[in-house]
Structure 1
Amino acid sequence: MLIEGARLEFQNGKKRTCIVGPCGMGKTIIMAWMASQARTKGNRTLFAVHRQELIDQSSKTFAKLNVSHGIIAADYPINSSECIQIASIQTAIRRLNKIPEPQIIILDEAHHATAGTWRKLLAAYPNAFVIGLTATPARLGGQGLGDIFESLIIGPTVKELISWGNLAPYRYYAPPVKADLAGLKTVRYGDYDHKEVAMRMDRSEIIGDLIEQYNKFSPGARAVCYCASVAHSQHTAEMFRQANIPALHIDGETPKAARDAAIRDFRNGNIKILCNVDLISEGFDVPAMEAVILARPTQSLTLYIQQSMRAMRPDDDNPGKVAIIIDAVGNVYRHGLPDEDRVWTLDGTKKKKSSNEKMEFPLKQCPKCFSAHRPAPVCPYCQYKYPVEERTGPEQRAGELAEIVELEKIRRKEEVRKARDVVTLEQIALARGYKLGWIQKQCELKRIPFGK
């Protein structure tokens, strides 16, 4: 039990612990209960979030559970009589001298905790017990949270939450990437350079391909599309509208009233496609949302999980819901499927020990429906049967066998020769069971930058 786990960590002398659990685990509900229990002992709790949407959403959850609380955010008066406060981290930092000292600090989306504002909050209350909440205990670049937290408490897996009904099952489609992703630069924080990605993806023919994939795999569904830049997002929304599919773009500069109206229209189905960059990755809870479109390649496992799983909230009005994930940029070949069993540590994302280590996530891509799935003789989505290699019988003459083998070698070499980007090489390696070192070697030979 996660609550008991946190209690034991504190009893054993730890002051800061992080609870790890996928979206759908009910982390806010757990924290509301813990805060109410702390109040019965006379302890004050500060629940810190980093976005206005999370303020509103957390407040509604606390109110639904009859947990009275104050709000520390712009345009809200401080009610210091409440022992439980839900706070915007930006506002809390500006009002440190006005906030009664909390005994417990809860950090929502704790993978942001290494940022300067979060560190300043923790430094202001060094004696407080700290609990972090996150689905991915690593920064966007993969760095760990060991300099903030002393321990991790691991919750249920995505597979378990799906089996319990806390998350909807999903279908994952990864059509061939038409964008040229070869040579993308990696910036210092570990992800692809945003400007370069936007230049590759913000092209009419590529966005047109996104629309075609949407119409094929999730026609009529409410989908969030994750883009590479504001301009790319605006262009994508415009092209969806030209295809008679209601779509809007929102970003951090969109006025709050307009942003709230867009999300409201998306919830009620008047808008089918909601385009953004990174705005709708955390705390966006729309159970009726049926699909996501990944139109931005990323090397960040944290960002990938936050975005790919956004449509997997169960919907009481649609008990048979199956989320559709359309990966138009091959992120699955870098990070595996959303419900992979991952090992989390305070050291961050696990690195490959050597170039000879095997790839972590073996996958197959169905040539008929383009689904990405774990190795199986039959596609679980369209029931396509993969051809079985027939063994050559004893009547096969040596010359014929040699000719067949030679032709197969030529075909395989030609497939590698035509590969022009890392994504294609990753797909070949996955299909053939090659190790990571093979991809690195081919990138060297072809002078394709290999992102690290």
Structure 2
Amino acid sequence: MGGPMVRPPGFGFRMLLERTDDETLRRLISPSARELLAAIEPGILSGDRLRQFIRESRTSRDYLADPVAREVLIGALPHQKAVELCSSLGIANYPDPYLALRQATIRAGSRAEELLLTFFGASGERAERHAGNHVAQAAAQYPLFPHQRTAARKVRSGLENPPRRLVLHMPTGGGKTRTTMNVIAEHLREHEPTVVLWLAYSGELLEQAASEFVKAWSSLGNREVDICRFWGNTLDDPLRIRDGIVVAGLGKLHAWSRRHQNGLPTIADRTTLTVMDEAHQAIAATYADMLDVLATKRRDAKLLGLTATPGRTWSDIIEDVRLADFFGKKKVGLEIEGFDNPVTYLIESGYLARPTFRTLNVRPGFELSEEDLDSLVTDADISPEILSRLAGDQARNLKIIAEAELLLRNHRRVILFTATVGQAELMAAVLKARGYQAEAVTGATREYERRSILQRYVSAAPAAMAICNFGVLTTGFDAPGTSAALIARPTRSLVLFSQMVGRAIRGPLAGGNDKAEVVTVIDPQLPGFGDVAEAFGNWEDVWQRQ
């Protein structure tokens, strides 16, 4: 006759969810997600659907690494298992094992954390640290299409002649960044040692530039060079770079130059090529003097502006003439024989999908203050504070979810661009609860998770899938199969807007689709953008082609 049944050590995460009541489990879901889901489908967060939603929203490892979620889960353990976990962690369980576990210090990466994960059967979910720049993993080839090679040759030639300034004007999807990286690589090969300085306003565009350079140089480079990421909260020192590239935020570099009196002249002494993304910002009062120092300190210094449309404004011809004058009225664009508009050529040749543009008009449930309205006039882009309030507006989110579901019914791969990290996670969670495949990809997403998500996204699996994206426009997020984009991240940056549009309009020759759909959420109080082809064709009269 068998002896008493001995239960195995530990307590599986799925088993824990099954024995925990709905009310307790709902505490694992953010209040904003609970409210939005309740507004869409009352009762959705209960029973099996609730447990499935929790399992699919985050890994068990993520829940256990979160102190708040961990406390909820530990409180649901049977008493005997709470005592067992105390024993595993080597902490006293008297008089209350639950209290002892709540008060225990469990640091990320520690032995205690690994024991905790093992106890719940989550140790197999590998927690990979952010890998940084893996140059060895970058692509071995970095080719250009013929129209891009022609543009690159004209840029190199134009920068050799005074005033050694010009603008590269290529439409969304034309390969402006890739073309420029070829120019930079050749410049670095021909000048050793030297510094290339890449300037932009937004973190998304700066991260894209840094990542794209790593990919390009791994194929086109002839030596090891340094890269300095100088924006946001980074602590890197641009003065350490004597041979390589500095990718810098305009605001951060300007503020740094005011604190370090000799800093900017020192950088200018070493820099032979400055690249200004969003070239229209070059004549802003805050930055024009700084750029003049960079472009004139050395006789051989070159200044290259990048833009998807060569004007600074939508209506002020005087400002547009000032911008043209700043770059010596020199512009390199896509000149295709037989085509008046290069966008038409790119579409008809299969480089771009034929896009359909729609707008989704949404008035948020709040009014902008006078201070907010002033910031829209003075700031280079919409402030994080306004973006955060938009991201938390339930009425706006309900319309975005409805539109996302419509796109998912008509497209196999959809990208939703959100205003904040939290909104990306919220949108993905709600879409999952509604029965769709959806994941959030943000700058905070761990590298191995991002790879796993993108492998699913770029696969040939027929089920529709959405990626909810904030702040990730790098080559590591290349997904040419995307045929629809929902842009719920308002911006004044035409370059940033164009980059978002560009994720959905890859043509067949670029591994994409014949047609694409782009839906832009328009907030009546905020600026919006129209058709990319129309925007590209403006301001031609103040420039001279090279």
| Residues 413, 481 of structure 2: 8 Å contact kept | yes
Q: Distance in 2 between matches of 1:181 and 1:154?
A: 44
Q: Distance in 2 between matches of 1:148 and 1:270?
A: 43
Partner of 1:380: none
Partner of 1:46: 196
What SS does the aligned partner of 2:210 have?
A: helix
For 1:120-139, what aligned pairs fall within 5 Å after superposition?
120=290, 123-124=293-294, 126=296, 127=298, 128-137=301-310
Specify whether residues 62 and 141 from structure 1 end up closer, same or farther in structure 2 by C-alpha distance, changes over 3 A only. farther
Query: 1:55 aligned to 2:210?
Result: yes
1:14 Cα shift? 1.7
Q: Distance in 2 between matches of 1:262 and 1:118?
A: 41
Partner of 2:499: 306
1:25 to 158, 171, 174: 174
| Residues 152, 345 of structure 1: 8 Å contact kept | no
Specify whether residues 69 and 118 from structure 1 end up closer, same or farther in structure 2 by C-alpha distance, changes over 3 A only. farther
| Residues 166, 305 of structure 2: 8 Å contact kept | yes
Query: 1:172 aligned to 2:357?
Result: yes
Partner of 1:415: none
Q: Which runs of 5+ in 1 are unaligned?
A: 349-452
The Cα offsets for residues 183-211 of structure 1, whole Å up to 9 and x where unpaired, read as: 65643444777656765664445433333
For 1:321-360, what aligned pairs fall within 5 Å after superposition?
321-329=514-522, 335-340=529-534, 341-344=536-539
2:271 to 93, 102, 105: 102
What SS does the aligned partner of 1:103 have?
A: strand
Greater per-residue helix proportion: 2
For 1:240-255, what aligned pairs fall within 5 Å after superposition?
240-249=431-440, 254=444
| Residues 208, 239 of structure 1: 8 Å contact kept | no
| Stretch of structure 1 that moved more, 331-340 or 46-55 | 331-340
1:178 Cα shift? 5.1
Partner of 1:160: 345
TM-score (norm 1): 0.58
1:38 Cα shift? 4.3
Partner of 2:482: 289
Q: Distance in 1 between matches of 2:512 and 2:223?
A: 32
Query: 1:187 aligned to 2:187?
Result: no
Specify whether residues 78 and 328 from structure 1 end up closer, same or farther in structure 2 by C-alpha distance, changes over 3 A only. closer
1:234 Cα shift? 3.8
What SS does the aligned partner of 1:87 have?
A: strand
Specify whether residues 118 and 232 from structure 1 end up closer, same or farther in structure 2 by C-alpha distance, changes over 3 A only. farther
1:267 to 450, 454, 462: 454
The Cα offsets for residues 4-45 of structure 1, whole Å up to 9 and x where unpaired, read as: 544564465223211111243333443344345546755646
1:182 Cα shift? 9.6
1:46 Cα shift? 1.2
Q: Distance in 2 between matches of 1:318 and 1:2?
A: 22
Specify whether residues 223 and 76 from structure 1 end up closer, same or farther in structure 2 by C-alpha distance, changes over 3 A only. farther
| Residues 227, 233 of structure 1: 8 Å contact kept | yes
C-alpha RMSD of the superposition: 4.6
- Report % sequence identity: 21
Specify whether residues 152 and 54 from structure 1 end up closer, same or farther in structure 2 by C-alpha distance, changes over 3 A only. same
| Residues 375, 383 of structure 2: 8 Å contact kept | no
Letter in 2 for 1:155: G
Q: Distance in 1 between matches of 2:345 and 2:290?
A: 36
Q: Distance in 2 between matches of 1:317 and 1:130?
A: 30
| Residues 228, 296 of structure 1: 8 Å contact kept | yes
Partner of 1:445: none
TM-score (norm 2): 0.50
1:237 Cα shift? 2.9
Q: Which runs of 5+ in 2 are unaligned?
A: 1-149, 201-205, 230-235, 258-262, 335-341, 459-464
Letter in 2 for 1:123: V
| Residues 294, 329 of structure 1: 8 Å contact kept | no
| Stretch of structure 1 that moved more, 236-245 or 96-105 | 96-105
Query: 1:149 aligned to 2:340?
Result: no
For 1:336-415, what aligned pairs fall within 5 Å after superposition?
336-340=530-534, 341-344=536-539
| Residues 228, 247 of structure 2: 8 Å contact kept | yes
2:429 to 238, 248, 252: 238
Specify whether residues 78 and 23 from structure 1 end up closer, same or farther in structure 2 by C-alpha distance, changes over 3 A only. farther
Letter in 2 for 1:135: A
Q: Distance in 2 between matches of 1:155 and 1:129?
A: 18
1:86 to 245, 258, 275: 245
Q: Distance in 2 between matches of 1:193 and 1:36?
A: 34
Letter in 2 for 1:73: C
1:215 Cα shift? 3.0
- Report the structure number with the largest CA radius of gyration: 2
The Cα offsets for residues 214-253 of structure 1, whole Å up to 9 and x where unpaired, read as: 332343633332334454444323322322334444555x
1:137 Cα shift? 4.1
1:226 to 397, 417, 420: 417
What SS does the aligned partner of 2:270 have?
A: coil
| Residues 238, 246 of structure 2: 8 Å contact kept | no
| Residues 21, 155 of structure 1: 8 Å contact kept | yes
What SS does the aligned partner of 1:89 have?
A: strand
1:164 Cα shift? 2.6
Q: Distance in 1 between matches of 2:314 and 2:385?
A: 17
1:129 Cα shift? 1.3
Q: Distance in 2 between matches of 1:130 and 1:325?
A: 33
Partner of 2:163: 14
What SS does the aligned partner of 2:212 have?
A: helix
Q: Distance in 2 between matches of 1:119 and 1:266?
A: 44
1:270 Cα shift? 5.2
1:334 Cα shift? 5.3
Q: Distance in 2 between matches of 1:275 and 1:164?
A: 30
Specify whether residues 183 and 131 from structure 1 end up closer, same or farther in structure 2 by C-alpha distance, changes over 3 A only. same
Specify whether residues 47 and 299 from structure 1 end up closer, same or farther in structure 2 by C-alpha distance, changes over 3 A only. closer
Partner of 2:102: none
Q: Distance in 2 between matches of 1:20 and 1:281?
A: 20
What SS does the aligned partner of 1:167 have?
A: coil
2:404 to 214, 220, 227: 214
| Residues 197, 228 of structure 1: 8 Å contact kept | yes
Letter in 2 for 1:338: V
